[in-house]
Amino acid sequence: MFALISLLVVIIVSIIIIRIGAVALEMTGLSKETATFQAQSAFSGTGFTTSESEYVVSHPVRRKIIRTLIFIGNIGIVSAMATLILTFVGQTQEEATSRLIWLLVGLIIIYFFARSKLVDQGMRWVIKRALEKFSSIRIYDYEQLLGLSRGYSIGEFTIKDKSWLENKKIKECKLADEGIIILGLYRKIGNKEKFIGAPYGETTLKLGDKLICYGPEEAIRNLSQRLRGKKGDDQHKRAIEDEKRRKEAQADELKGE
Tell me: the pLDDT tens digits for 65-75? Answer: 888 888 888 77
Give me the mean pLDDT over the 231-254 stretch: 90
Q: Are residues 100 and 217 in the same domain?
A: no
Q: Are 204 and 168 in contact (CB under 8 A)?
A: yes
Most confident of 18-27, 29-38, 47-56, 243-252: 243-252
Q: Is residue 139 part of a domain?
A: no
Q: Mean of the per-residue pLDDT values for the chain? A: 81
Integer CA distances (angstroms), 133 to 53, 62, 129, in order = 27, 18, 6
What is the separation, in whole angstroms, between the first and last Cα of the chain? 65
Q: Last residue of a domain, which of 109, 134, 159? A: 134
Q: How many domains does the chain have?
A: 2
Give 194-235 as a DSSP string. EEEES--TTPBP-TT-EEEEEEEHHHHHHHHH-BSSHHHHHH
Distance CA 54, CA 124 (A): 26
Residue 167 domain-assigned (yes or no): yes
Does residue 91 share a domain with residue 7?
A: yes
Domain check: are 93 and 151 in the same one? no
Q: Check whether residue 171 and residue 222 sit in a common domain.
A: yes
- Residue 8 in this model has a pLDDT that exceeds 80: no
Looking at the structure, tell me whether residues 14 and 130 fall in a common domain: yes
Boundary-marking domain end, from 91, 112, 134? 134
What percent of the chain is predicted at pLDDT more than 90?
A: 31
| Domain co-membership, 219 together with 120 | no
Given 134, 160, 176, the domain boundary residue is 134
Which residue from 152, 169, 145, 166 is spatially nearest to 208, judged by alpha carbons?
166
User: Do 62 and 52 touch, CB atoms closer than 8 A?
Assistant: no
Annotate 12-78 with DSSP letters as a single string: HHHHHHHHHHHHHHHHTT--HHHHHHHHHHHHHTSSTTSHHHHHHHTSHHHHHHHHHHHHHHHHHHH
pLDDT score of 91: 72
Q: Which domain holds residue 231?
A: 146-256
* Co-location of 130 and 154 in the same domain: no
Q: What is the pTM of this model?
A: 0.53
